[in-house]
């Protein structure tokens, strides 16, 4: 007597075999994680898009159009307005003044911040008082710092109105006087960040350098500066961006004068609020954005080679 084997049912061609339970659970968990990530990122993406991408789109839109004197009608002018504005004397002069403002503020502010931080990075009684004094300017706003220096170097009634190289009434020196207020206002931030970088350096490294015969000056240049170079690179980038965006100091102290010698690019953009000049101001704003972006990238590429990241 023979027993015939029952045929084994096979899935039809083109049908999908049921996935194992553990793969189904893994897929479900992955989908839930992705949805949760999207839920957490959505508010930030909406805010970032509304306050960055939409204004950037509006700048390009205004740069491609020109409005009439009353702002009631506009006409498409294309990219010709970009070439006219970015190649014009007005944009070049504003960019040149902004570049000088960067040179006046960033090196001096960085050097003073490092020197104050090194002087305050000591284990002495009462040093916290000096650290608080050196960092106090971080609590002052740009308007407060500008008013303080307006009282000090005002050409008519200031306490130091006779200091020639900071005179706000001289087109050759007015930008220096404005820059000094920015240096003072940003000094607290520079001091705090550099001091934090110094306090992160292990004491054993200084002890080893001292045993090797390094004096204070040699320790500073051969040990301290290389170890805090990432902090300094961050500060250089931040201070350059701050300098390119300076406006309130100039508006309060000189209002762009005398003879337009302190009209930075941001100040020129601010003055382009009339409907007839909104397109020009939008193109200048895009130009400033591109310049700031390339300067920041150049700083990262150049300074990254000189930065030491300790393990």
- CATH assignment of 82-304? 1.10.3720.10
Report the alpha-carbon distance of residue 82 to residue 222 in Å, rounded.
Answer: 48
Chain segment 264-296, per-residue pLDDT in tens: 999 999 998 888 888 999 999 999 999 999 988
The closest of 177, 223, 163 to 197, measured between CA atoms, is 223
What are the boundaries of each domain within the chain? 21-63, 82-304
The closest of 91, 92, 97 to 282, measured between CA atoms, is 91
Q: Which pLDDT belongs to residue 116? A: 93
Size (the chain), residues: 311
CB neighbours (10 Å) of residue 261?
A: 19
List of residues 6+ apart from 246 with CB closer than 8 A: 98, 101, 105, 178, 182, 264, 266
- Burial (0-12, 13-18, 19+ Cβ within 10 Å), 99: middle
Chain segment 225-258, per-residue pLDDT in tens: 888 888 898 899 999 999 999 999 999 999 988 8
Chain segment 81-121, per-residue pLDDT in tens: 999 999 999 999 999 999 999 999 999 999 999 999 999 98
pTM over 0.85: no
Chain segment 122-178, per-residue pLDDT in tens: 888 888 998 899 998 988 888 889 888 888 888 777 777 767 778 888 888 899 999
* 27 Rama class: left (phi>0) / alpha (psi -120 to 50) / beta: alpha
The closest of 117, 132, 248, 232 to 182, measured between CA atoms, is 248
Work out the percent of the chain whose per-residue pLDDT is above 90: 37
Q: Does pLDDT of 309 surpass 80?
A: no
Q: Which pLDDT belongs to residue 202? A: 86
Q: Which pLDDT belongs to residue 195? A: 93
What tokens were used for 69? 């004197």
């Amino acid at each position: 007597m023979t027993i015939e084997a029952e045929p084994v049912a096979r899935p039809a061609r083109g049908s999908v075999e049921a996935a194992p339970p553990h793969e189904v659970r893994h897929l479900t968990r992955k989908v839930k994680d992705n949805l949760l990530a999207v839920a957490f990122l959505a508010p930030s993406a909406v805010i970032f898009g509304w306050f960055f991408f939409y204004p950037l789109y509006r700048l390009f839109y205004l740069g491609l159009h020109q409005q009439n004197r009353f702002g009631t009608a506009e006409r498409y002018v294309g990219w010709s307005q970009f070439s006219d504005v970015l190649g014009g004397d007005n944009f070049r002069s504003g960019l040149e003044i902004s570049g000088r403002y960067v040179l006046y503020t960033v090196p001096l502010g960085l050097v003073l911040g490092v020197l104050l931080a090194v002087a305050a990075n000591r284990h002495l009684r009462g040093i916290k008082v000096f650290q608080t004094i050196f960092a106090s300017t971080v609590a002052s706003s740009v308007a407060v710092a500008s008013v303080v220096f307006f009282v000090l170097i005002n050409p008519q009634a200031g306490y130091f109105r006779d200091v020639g190289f900071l005179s706000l009434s001289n087109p050759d020196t007015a930008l220096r006087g404005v820059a000094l207020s920015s240096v003072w206002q940003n000094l607290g931030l520079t001091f705090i960040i550099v001091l934090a970088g110094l306090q992160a350096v292990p004491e054993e490294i200084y002890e080893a350098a001292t045993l090797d015969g390094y004096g204070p000056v040699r320790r500073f240049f051969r040990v301290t500066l290389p170890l805090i170079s990432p902090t300094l690179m961050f500060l250089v980038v931040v201070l350059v961006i701050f300098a390119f965006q300076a406006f309130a100091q100039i508006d309060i102290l000189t209002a762009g004068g005398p003879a337009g010698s302190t009209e930075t690019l941001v100040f020129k953009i601010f003055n382009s609020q009339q409907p007839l000049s909104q397109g020009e101001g939008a193109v200048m704003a895009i130009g400033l954005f591109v310049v700031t972006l390339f300067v920041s990238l150049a700083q990262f590429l150049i300074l990254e080679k000189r930065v030491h990241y300790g393990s």
